[in-house]
A = this chain, B = another copy of it.
Amino acid sequence: MASQQKTSRKAAGTQAAIRRPQARAANSRSQRGDAGDDIGLDALVGHAGYAVRRFQLWIFQDFIKTLATVDIRPTQYSVMTVIGANPGLSQMAVAKRLGIERARLVHLLDSLEERDFVSRIASATDRRSHALHLTARGRTALAQFKRLAAEHERHVAEKIGKENRERLLQILACFT
Contacts and interface: CB of A to CB of B under 8 A. Distances in A.
A27 interface: yes
A93 B176 CA distance: 36
This chain: how many copies in the complex? 2
B92 A152 contact: no
A85 to B, nearest CB: 5
A9 to B, nearest CB: 6
Question: Majority SS of interface residues in chain A?
Answer: helix
Interface of A: 1-2, 5, 8-9, 12-13, 15-20, 22-36, 39-60, 63, 74, 78, 81-82, 84-90, 92-97, 99, 110, 113-114, 119-126, 129-131, 133-134, 136, 139, 146, 149, 152-153, 156, 159-161, 164-165, 167-169, 171-176
